[in-house]
Chain A
């Protein structure tokens, strides 16, 4: 499998609030969203969650370049010491992460090592469900940020997805985040689309949904030209998604959580080239976004979390690739962030069945963000979780 779409995870998983997703969540039009703009900034911080779908290889993202065991385990895949962007004498960033390196130098990048959860699951679907629900032990039907909406009495506009479908993390029990598709309308002229968009009394749920999709289309169309200027060439690109987030923050939109995604990390063979391309796209997009945020008062409080559902096996497979593994690396970046390393780097020799041992529970990271960015008691969202990572 070398192409994985977000849709696979979002719709294949079925664990989380499938009803809310099937019903289209609360589809917000961009004009509706922008109509919430206020003349002055609300103050406070803003969380931007970047999900890397497909299982990003942590060991080739944060490279233990000085460790002989690294070179021995993946001779075809390893980066040499002179290739990495060294952060200290042991660890360096993938050569594609040049902007992240600058963030590190500016002390605005927290690198969280060995992130994962107990009893790791290596299925993309299941592991992504675990990360997005924030509940490794018991399957639950709500996402961690959906529960944040629930406990704070939030509205869909408070947590926005720039994906065409709502990611499970934004689905709460009583309310779900809004999703704002980036594609506009170019449809044939002279068609009675508005008439088709009306509900018909007594019609089945799926027919009603089909009619509603035309209503959504008309409202998206009304705004894309107005607000966005032109439709982005590739609306799914991480760059286009973060551009729109920047626009919303600059317009003083009250939204406190944005979810964006970057797809395609599910490679198993001949990985280095494609992985570098994907990491390069991430690097460029996040760096440009944070630079832009630094130029506006509202943007000063923006904190970006970057994570993936799992890392990869320490040992390369015979195909110049790696198989699904466990602990990975997460990044937290932005002006409020205290840059540096957090969490222990997992040993490459003391393994658990060929896999890295998790040293930092991802709920520590979530809890710190809930507390430090969203001003919310993490225990109310994460079943009393007490761990923290002091990165804010």
Chain B
């Protein structure tokens, strides 16, 4: 495989929609330097600076529809504008991992959680997990503020082990009940959104979790979980599914990413956000300029995962209804794009020019035949290319 196909695949997986110029630059510096720059992005991101986090009223609630819309639109615009695109994609991964929804939590706390995910995105998973277990949005989402010494609510403790750290089969029902007691007593201040421990509602009696008996705190409980080998395995599995890769287990996030990005599988399906934001970057479209809510039709709205399990990956995105929505959104994207360059080319040259713009390594004969049918109409050509199996996968 040539360097160009290697770097283009790496950029497609690690970032949103690399542009032809990004691939050109990466090809010049080589695969190793490209990987280093993805792991440690140099300097400040001017694209991120141009798309500052919106300032919402502190108590903005879920019923404030404008604030919700503004929040979702902001992140999509940020994803499209960012130069450090790998960072934005990584934050989306963590959001899907600690899947919390604005539909219950409200936009103010969601943005606060977003900042926490961003701050710990590339560090030690232990720090991220410690911060998340008392994150106000996650607490509220999983009824953690209602988990008290007298009336434990197991929801957070169960999902913490099943989905966030260990995975099914690595803990027992007794561990769930004991874990819930370790997490008792955390309260969210309605006005400030700040979280604090109410000692009267915290269960300080010793409990046994995963064979260890002591008076656990939220932090020591999380530490115990992160120390389990199952945690590193679970993270590697989640990272692997997201990026289409087979990384070695571990809880050092940077090392996990380095391993994933050097062990990429041949075949991967773009998530709807990856597909849409990528197309926006390559075609110069601002996501906020698209009418309606295209990602709702595609089944992946940032800040609104379907449930605490996050979004599916892989073939799950290739359903009949997704195919239908994709054709519609592809037409919207083609409508919004500036296609002057494509217009200026003879129809016969357009498919290859479009392959370069969309960083598709090669069209199959099947897709080439489909594109030939509409090569005279640049908008239909772009719509078809965006919907093609080559572009839907990476």
Contacts and interface: CB of A to CB of B under 8 A. Distances in A.
A2 B309 CA distance: 12
Contact of A192 (B150, B324, B365, B374): B374
Nearest to B365: A200
Given A181-B319, A323-B155, A269 B393 contact: no
A11 B148 CA distance: 33
B204 interface: no
B186 interface: no
Interface in A168-224: 181, 183, 185-188, 190-193, 195-196, 198-201, 203-214, 216-217, 220
Interface stretch (A83-91, A313-321, A336-344): A313-321
B393 A187 contact: no
Interface in B135-161: 141-143, 146-148, 150-155, 158-159
A8 interface: yes
Contacts of A122: 158, 173, 176
Interface string B341-367: 000000000000000000000001111
A14 B1 CA distance: 33
A22 B327 contact: no
A251 to B, nearest CB: 22
A181 B373 CA distance: 29
B315 interface: yes
A201 B367 CA distance: 12
Contacts of B319: 24, 164-165, 181, 213
Contacts of A23: 315
Contact of A318 (B150, B173, B324, B369): B150
Interface in A209-263: 209-214, 216-217, 220
A200 B362 CA distance: 13
A5 B327 CA distance: 24
If over half of A's interface residues share one DSSP class (helix, strand or loop), that class is named, otherwise mixed; here it is: loop
Contacts of A205: 267
Interface residues of B, number: 63
If over half of B's interface residues share one DSSP class (helix, strand or loop), that class is named, otherwise mixed; here it is: helix
B302 to A, nearest CB: 16
B316 A165 contact: yes
A201 B366 CA distance: 9
A27 B320 CA distance: 9
Contacts of B331: 188, 191
Contacts of B268: 206
A323 B179 CA distance: 14
24 contacts: A1-B141, A2-B103, A2-B104, A3-B103, A5-B307, A183-B320, A190-B380, A191-B374, A192-B373, A195-B373, A196-B370, A207-B392, A207-B393, A210-B318, A210-B389, A213-B319, A217-B323, A268-B143, A269-B153, A317-B151, A318-B146, A318-B153, A319-B146, A324-B158
Interface of A: 1-5, 7-8, 11-12, 22-24, 27, 121-123, 125-126, 164-165, 181, 183, 185-188, 190-193, 195-196, 198-201, 203-214, 216-217, 220, 266, 268-269, 317-319, 321, 323-324, 353
Given A23-B315, A186-B324, 7 more contacts: A12-B312, A22-B315, A123-B158, A187-B324, A188-B331, A210-B269, A269-B153
Interface of B: 101, 103-104, 141-143, 146-148, 150-155, 158-159, 162, 168, 173, 176-177, 266-269, 306-309, 312, 314-316, 318-324, 327-328, 331, 364-367, 369-371, 373-374, 377, 380, 383-384, 387-390, 392-393
Shortest 3 CB-CB distances between A and B: which pairs?
Answer: A318-B151, A195-B370, A200-B364
